[in-house]
Amino acid sequence: MYRPMTNELHEQWEARTRVVLQPIAAPSILGLFGFAGATFMVSTYLAGWYHMANAPAYLFPFAAVLGGLAQFLAGLWCYRARDGIGTAMHGMWGSFWMAYGLLWLLIATHVLVAPPADGPFLPIAFWFIALAAITAFGAIAALAESLALFLVLATLAAGSAVYAWSQVAGSHGGVVWGGWILFISACIAFYTAGAMMVESAFGRVVFQLGKLHLRANVPGGVVTRPIEYEYGQPGVRAGQ
């Protein structure tokens, strides 16, 4: 027989519940640092900060492991933390960085020919069209999390879109602009990951992330509740 949940029944349920904690660190700390490091290296190359004919061959191991493997693993751990945004964004961009590393490995081993420096090159363009579209949805969802995460994804989507256009039009200026926008995204990701790591270490807010809850933006405030009965799974905190 169905009995609707009342306050009395809810209190009885809480009193009889055995809580087994399985705390995990916020996976996006690793994911955002991995993304920031890989994107910094590649975006500065696209923006023209340094010029080497075989530079991508030196970049791909770093991008594939830090931006790819580390970020993909962070996406899997985000799934365990019930963080849909982190699961999608880290999982997708981690997969991209591994694919990007594999692409340049095939180029370095002369299995494939390197794309022209100034384009047009439609296969790469369509890579970034897909990335920009999915990341734009992630940016919209991130508005429910924090301003910092929204800015990371919004600039990432914009940089991907500009770079995709540069590969369609064969515009060197578009490549440079895309690189600069991606560099800005990497810097914001670095700040966001750093703020999350410092908050985790000190147990309180130190650097603001622009969260919706006002207390979460006050330095020194404690806003994390590790046990959340209202989500139906005590001992497991929803999100990060």
Dump pLDDT digits (tens) for 82-127.
889 999 999 999 999 999 989 888 888 888 887 776 668 888 899 9
- Alpha-carbon separation of residue 53 from 40, 49, 59 (angstroms): 19, 13, 12
Domain boundaries, the chain: 25-231
The dihedral through the CA atoms of 22, 26, 31, 33 has a sign that is negative
pLDDT given for residue 70 in this prediction: 94
Altogether, the residues listed in the chain come to a count of: 240
- In this predicted structure, the answer to whether residue 209 has a pLDDT above a threshold of 70 is yes
Phi, psi of 211 (to 5 degrees): -75, 160
> Are the beta carbons of 38 and 95 closer than 8 angstroms?
no
Angle between helices 147-169 and 27-46 (to 10 degrees): 30
For residues 79 and 76, give the distance between their C-alpha atoms in angstroms, rounded to a whole number: 5
Question: Under a CB-based contact definition with an 8 Å cutoff, are residues 102 and 66 in contact?
Answer: no
pLDDT score, position 187: 97
- Residue 146 dihedral angles phi and psi, to the nearest 5°: -165, 155
Lowest mean pLDDT among 55-59, 70-74, 207-211, 213-217: 213-217
Q: What pLDDT, on a 0 to 100 scale, did the predictor assign at position 240? A: 58
Q: Which two tokens stand for residue 216?
A: 């979460």
pTM equals 0.81
Q: At what angle do helices 84-108 and 122-142 cross, to 10 degrees?
A: 160
Residues above pLDDT 70, as percent of the chain: 78
9-13, 67-71, 233-237: lowest mean pLDDT where? 233-237
Residues 6+ apart with CB under 8 A from 13: 5
Rounded to 5°, the CA angle 122-123-124 comes to: 90
State the burial class of residue 173 (Cβ atoms within 10 Å of its Cβ: 0-12, 13-18, 19+). exposed
